[in-house]
Amino acid sequence: MARVVVFDETGGPEVLRLVDEPVPDPGPGEVRIRIEAAGVNRLDELTRSGASPLPVRLPHARLGCEGAGVVDAVGPGVEGLAAGDPVLIAAVPDMVSHGTYADCTVLPASRVVRRPEGLDPVRAAALWVAYSTAYGALVEKAGMRPGDTVLITAASGGVGRAAIQIARQIGAVPIAVTRHSAKEKELLAAGAEAVVATDREDVAEATARHTGGAGADIVLDSVMGPGLDGLARAARRFTGTLVTVGWLDPRPAPYPSNAITTHRYMSFEHTLDPAAVRRIAAFLFAGLRTGVLDPAVGRVFALEDAVQAHRYLADDGRDHGKVVLACAPSAGPVAA
Ligand SMILES: NC(=O)c1ccc[n+]([C@@H]2O[C@H](COP(=O)([O-])OP(=O)(O)OC[C@H]3O[C@@H](n4cnc5c(N)ncnc54)[C@H](OP(=O)(O)O)[C@@H]3O)[C@@H](O)[C@H]2O)c1
């Protein structure tokens, strides 16, 4: 049997519960993964609470779109992966049926990536969603180049910190946006060239000041809401690009009226494409090797404490690092 976190109705963290389920066999082209650690993401929170734009099939919905573990069994026709291989999970678009808050899940082999030696499961579970989103939005979508100035909102969050590091890896210049000037030192230490704090300054004016009046070449926004107008004004006139990835502020957002390029980015656009996954993995693993990419883990909860993990995720004053669930013990197959 395997332990799986499920929910029967949408609502607060308390709707999550742990059940025992039979371990499924992988079908053709599939692998069964013994999950050692699962990352806890904002999308999970939206799905659990009923606010996700993706459909949720109830009851008995699973949660979790990222994780790391070991291949436990391979189905017919799978090549290049074998039982015992350490992997990380690159995409779970159907998390309500195959979610990673569990001791195991079965996925198409194309959805896993071999995990580099030395990358432990907890750090691996903190890597993929945040870093592949920042990479996909900045590099694949917005075409970030060395020397570009990149304005990054929610810079102290998971995607924001990843974006700062990825900008540095490319040779671009990251400018961090926070709502709190008290976070300035922390963000400079995290690699930001400059910090714009919205509790003390206008984002467009401050960005102009930091870019010699030019504006940012790229704006990466995780927030949306009314602040989008100021972000659009902070972008370089005519040639700037605004790419939005998140919606931390649920209030209505004005559509930018100035002449910049805008994109709405979902990481599944690339993480379901095997060729793009190879590019993402090559980039991220190179960054881990040189140390320029360094995923931070905030707190690790046991799988049975998923309710507490979700309460912690919702706490605005929490540590910036990733919330991770520790799943199956690190040795032995899941199947009895
Ligand atoms: N498109 C995709 O494929 C994709 C993938 C991953 C995540 N996302 C989305 O990207 C967003 C960020 O995810 P994350 O994991 O980085 O989140 P996170 O780690 O929870 O981000 C937390 C940070 O966001 C800032 N923040 C929180 N609420 C805010 C608000 N109402 N207004 C302004 N800033 C706020 C805070 O920074 P300050 O206190 O410093 O302001 C906070 O430190 C989420 O909406 C998530 O759903 C999208």
Would the CB of 40 count as within 6 Å of ligand 1? no
pTM of the model: 0.95
Average pLDDT over residues 12-41: 97
Residue 39, strand partner residues: 324
313 C-alpha to center of ligand 1: Å? 11
Q: How many CA atoms lie within 13 A of 101 on its CB side?
A: 33
Q: Which helix (H) or strand (E) holds 68?
A: strand 67-74
Q: Whose C-alpha lies nearest to ligand 1, atom 23?
A: 157
User: Is the pLDDT confidence value at 241 over 90?
Assistant: yes
Would the CB of 23 count as within 6 Å of ligand 1? no
Of 111 and 335, more confident: 111
Question: What is the per-residue pLDDT across 83-108, written as a single tens digit (0 to 9) for each?
Answer: 999 999 999 989 999 999 999 999 99
Q: Cis link prior to 59 (omega < 30° from 0)?
A: yes
Residue 147 burial (CB < 10 Å; 0-12/13-18/19+)? exposed
User: Is the pLDDT confidence value at 335 over 70?
Assistant: no
Residue 135 makes CB contacts below 8 A (sequence gap 6+) with 162, 166, 280, 283, 284
User: Is the pLDDT confidence value at 258 over 80?
Assistant: no
Would the CB of 219 count as within 6 Å of ligand 1? no
Would the CB of 186 count as within 6 Å of ligand 1? no
Residue 330's pLDDT band (cuts 50, 70, 90): low
* Domains of the chain, first to last: 2-127+295-326 (3.90.180.10), 134-267 (3.40.50.720)
User: Is the pLDDT confidence value at 317 over 60?
Assistant: yes
Cβ–Cβ < 8 Å for 246, 221: yes
Nearest to residue 62, comparing CAs of 104, 25, 33? 104
Of 55 and 250, more confident: 250
Residue 268's pLDDT band (cuts 50, 70, 90): very high
Measure the CA–CA gap between 89 and 72, rounded to whole angstroms. Answer: 13
Q: Which of 159, 220, 223, 312 to mutate to test the pocket of ligand 1 (most atoms within 8 A of CB)?
A: 159
Q: Whose C-alpha lies nearest to ligand 1, atom 38?
A: 178
Mean pLDDT across the chain, nearest whole number? 94
Q: Whose C-alpha lies nearest to ligand 1, atom 20?
A: 157
Would the CB of 294 count as within 6 Å of ligand 1? no
Question: What is the per-residue pLDDT across 187-199, written as a single tens digit (0 to 9) for each?
Answer: 999 999 999 999 9
Nearest atom in ligand 1 to 198's CA: 41
Residue 331's pLDDT is 44
Beta strands in 100-244 (DSSP E): 104-108, 112-114, 149-152, 173-178, 194-197, 218-221, 241-244
Nearest atom in ligand 1 to 160's CA: 16
Question: What is the per-residue pLDDT across 116-163, written as a single tens digit (0 to 9) for each?
Answer: 999 999 999 999 999 999 999 999 999 999 999 999 999 999 999 999
Residue 316's pLDDT is 79
